[in-house]
Structure 1
Amino acid sequence: MRRVALAVVAALVVLSVVPATATAAACEPVDWGSGLKTVVNGSGGTVTDIRSGQHECFDRLVIDTHLAGGGYYVRYTDEVTHVGSGEPVPLRGGAKLFVMAYSPSYDENFDPTYTPADPAEVVDVTGYRTFRQVAWAGSWEGTTDLGLGVRAQLPFRVFTLPDRIVVDVAHQW
Structure 2
Amino acid sequence: MINTRLRQFVALATGALLAACLSFAAPASASTLTSATADVQAPTPLVVNARWGGHATYDRIVIDLQGYTPTVTVTPVAQLVYDGSGKPVPLAGKHFLEIRLNPAAAHDDAGGSVYRGPKLQKIYLSKLKGLAMTGDYEGYVTFGAAFDTVPYYRAYSLHSPERFVVDIAH
TM tier, shorter chain? Answer: 0.5 to 0.7
Question: Could you give the per-residue CA deviations for residues 116-137 of structure 1, whole angstroms, max 9, x where no partner exists?
Answer: 45x321xx622x1000011121
Q: Distance between the aligned counterparts of 2:43 and 2:60, measured in 1? A: 22
Question: How do residues 98-113 of structure 1 correspond to structure 2 at under 5 angstroms?
Answer: 98-102=98-102, 103-113=104-114
Kindly report the root-mean-square deviation, in angstroms, between the aligned alpha carbons of the 2 structures: 1.9
Question: Comparing both structures, which one devotes a greater share of its residues to helix?
Answer: 2
Task: State percent identity of aligned pairs.
Answer: 27
Which of the pair has the greater relative contact order for Cα pairs under 8 Å at 6+ separation?
A: 1
1:91-170 aligned at under 5 Å gives the runs 91-102=91-102, 103-116=104-117, 119-121=119-121, 125-126=123-124, 128-162=125-159, 163-170=162-169
Deviation for aligned residue 1:79: 1.1
Instruction: Answer yes or no: is 1:83 the counterpart of 2:80.
Output: no
**Structure 2 equivalent of residue 68 of structure 1:** 68
Number of residue pairs matched?
Answer: 126
Q: Any stretches of 5+ residues in structure 1 without a counterpart?
A: 1-41
Q: TM-score by structure 1 length?
A: 0.66
- 1:96 deviates by 0.8
Larger radius of gyration: 2
Question: What SS is found at the alignment partner of 2:145?
Answer: strand
For structure 2, the residue ranges without an aligned partner over 5 or more in a row are 1-41
Taking structure 2 as the reference length, the TM-score comes to: 0.67
Q: State the alpha-carbon separation in 2 of the partners of residues 144 and 90 from structure 1.
A: 18
Distance in 2 (CA, whole Å) between partners of 1:120 and 1:68 is 25
Could you tell me how far apart the structure 2 residues matched to 1:76 and 1:120 are? 19
